[in-house]
């Protein structure tokens, strides 16, 4: 895993709008759509890439489900999803899939007098809250985990995603792994039949709703919690240890991942062992056609992704994302060189 250097560079300003649009210096703008989980780092990379190369990017932060639909409809050059497609799905459509970056999903709350990291939850309790079994903040299960916290006698307002979401997929995957009732009654998918709560679109929507609703709890990618100054909770991980959501904790969860074990590098990082592992760590993937109709645009997109791998680590670390390991990047670029080709059969990317 790479060594990360934190700098004092200013983090991107996250607009309320869900679309990042940067004008390009050439006729065919790069276009992508999908996951909101990586939007902060894609925006930051795109801004730096524009300054470095003059090439722009239009990325629609519409949720993983929307990204998968748009790439299948061929309305964008690439799709982005936090829920990896299975091998048979990739093959049936003719797509190549690869992870761009990793990060952490965190519970966020709006409780007066509670600061970030002052509250801790475990997976079973978190699932029971989203199942509607725990409805008050001073419930005995929460009090037992937080004996010194001043928990209010206040109703819990659950906020969840309303759109097809890879963040939801990874969140639900974790809850199903630790709570039998969740696994049996709700399950794992990008869109769920939620037992309780109000829905919001995108990580942005959940962050905004939690910020505006007293007693609320939701789940967002960590960068959204930081940018919106939300109160995140710590978690009890698989090893029974209390952990904070940090890039080091996300990295610890990803340290033993066998990325070659799944088609399209589709490894789920939830609930990994390790004393320092954050239990809701997740990767986010890009989807591209192996034989695209617009080979020039796909070739340009591959250049952007290669640049992001090579030059984007510090920017990712500043937002508490975890860059992909060097050996995984090498395998990904070799996959591009073998599988992504133009109409003449020639590769659109040459691995160095």
Give me the residue spans of the domains in the chain. 19-103+281-339, 105-255
Nearest by Cα to 107 from 185, 219, 11, 202: 219
User: In this predicted structure, what is the pLDDT of residue 13?
Assistant: 33
CATH of domain 19-103+281-339: 3.40.190.10
Within 8 A by CB and 6+ apart from 67, the residues are: 32, 33, 34, 35, 76, 79, 80, 81, 287
User: In this predicted structure, what is the pLDDT of residue 29?
Assistant: 74
**How far apart, in Å, do the first and last CA atoms of the chain sit?**
20
User: In this predicted structure, what is the pLDDT of residue 350?
Assistant: 87
Each residue's pLDDT, cut to its tens digit, for the chain (352 residues) gives: 444 333 333 333 333 333 444 333 334 579 999 999 999 999 999 999 999 999 999 999 999 999 999 999 999 999 999 999 999 999 999 999 999 999 999 999 999 999 999 999 999 999 999 999 999 999 999 999 999 999 999 999 999 999 999 999 999 999 999 999 999 999 999 999 999 999 999 999 999 999 999 999 999 999 999 989 999 999 999 999 999 999 999 999 999 899 999 999 999 999 999 999 999 999 999 999 999 999 999 999 999 999 999 999 999 999 999 999 999 999 999 999 999 999 999 999 987 5
Opening angle at CA 225, ends 2 and 301, nearest 5: 50
Alpha-carbon distance of 64 to 45, in angstroms, equals 19
User: In this predicted structure, what is the pLDDT of residue 10?
Assistant: 30
Per-residue three-class SS string for the chain: CCCCCCCCCCCCCCCCCCEEECCCCCCCCEEEEECCCCHHHHHHHHHHHHHHHCCCEEEEECCHHHHHHHHHCCCCCEEEECCCCCHHHHHHHCEEEEEEEEEEEEEEECCCCCCCCCCEECHHHHHHHHHCCCCECCCHHHHHHCCCCCCCCCECEEEEECCCCHHHHHHHHHHHHHCHHHHHHCCCCCCCCCCCCEEECHHHHHHHHHHHCCCEEEEEEHHHHHHCCCEECEEECCCCCEECCCHHHHHHHHCCCCHHHCHHHCCCCCCCCCCCCCCCEEEEEEEEECCCCCHHHHHHHHHHHHHHHHHCHHHHHHCCCEECCHHHHHHHHHHHHHHCECCCCCECCCCC
Alpha-carbon distance of 197 to 129, in angstroms, equals 10
User: In this predicted structure, what is the pLDDT of residue 28?
Assistant: 52
Predicted TM-score (pTM) above 0.85: yes
Within 8 A by CB and 6+ apart from 92, the residues are: none
Number of CB atoms found within 10 A of residue 50's CB:
17
The residue assigned the tokens 């276009």 is: 31
Q: Do domains 19-103+281-339 and 105-255 have the same CATH topology?
A: yes
User: In this predicted structure, what is the pLDDT of residue 8?
Assistant: 31
User: In this predicted structure, what is the pLDDT of residue 1?
Assistant: 43
* C-alpha distances in Å from residue 254, one per residue of 150, 199, 243, 251: 34, 30, 15, 5
CATH of domain 105-255: 3.40.190.10
């Amino acid at each position: 895993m790479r060594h990360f250097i934190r700098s004092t560079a200013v983090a991107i300003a996250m607009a309320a709008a869900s679309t990042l649009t940067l004008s390009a210096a050439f006729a065919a703008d790069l276009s992508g759509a999908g996951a909101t989980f990586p939007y902060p780092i894609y925006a930051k990379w795109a801004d730096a890439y524009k300054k470095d190369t003059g090439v722009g990017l239009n990325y629609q932060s519409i949720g993983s489900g929307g990204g998968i639909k748009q790439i299948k409809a061929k309305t964008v050059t690439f799709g982005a999803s936090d829920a990896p497609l299975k091998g048979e799905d990739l093959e049936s459509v003719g797509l190549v899939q690869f992870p761009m970056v990793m990060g952490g999903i965190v519970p966020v709350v709006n409780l007066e007098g509670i600061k970030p990291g002052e509250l801790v939850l475990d997976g079973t309790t978190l699932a029971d809250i989203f199942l509607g079994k725990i409805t008050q903040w001073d419930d005995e299960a929460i009090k037992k985990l937080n004996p010194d916290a001043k928990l209010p006698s206040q109703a819990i307002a659950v906020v969840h995603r309303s759109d097809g979401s890879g963040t939801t997929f990874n969140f639900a995957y974790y809850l199903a792994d630790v709570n039998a009732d969740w696994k049996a009654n709700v399950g794992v998918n990008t869109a769920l039949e939620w037992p309780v709560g109000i829905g919001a679109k995108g990580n942005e929507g959940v962050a905004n709703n939690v910020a505006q609703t007293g007693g609320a709890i939701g789940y967002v990618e960590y960068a959204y919690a930081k940018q919106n100054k939300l109160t995140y909770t710590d978690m009890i991980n698989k090893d029974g240890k209390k952990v904070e959501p940090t890039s080091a904790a996300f990295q610890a969860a990803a340290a033993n991942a066998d990325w070659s074990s799944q088609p399209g590098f589709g490894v789920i990082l939830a609930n990994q062992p390790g004393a320092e592992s954050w239990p809701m760590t997740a990767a986010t993937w890009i989807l591209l056609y192996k034989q695209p109709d617009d080979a020039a645009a796909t070739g340009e997109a591959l250049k952007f992704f290669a640049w992001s791998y090579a030059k984007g680590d510090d920017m990712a670390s500043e937002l508490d994302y975890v860059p992909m390991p060097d050996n995984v990047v090498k395998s990904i670029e070799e996959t591009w060189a073998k599988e992504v080709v133009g109409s003449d059969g020639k590769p659109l990317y040459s691995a160095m």
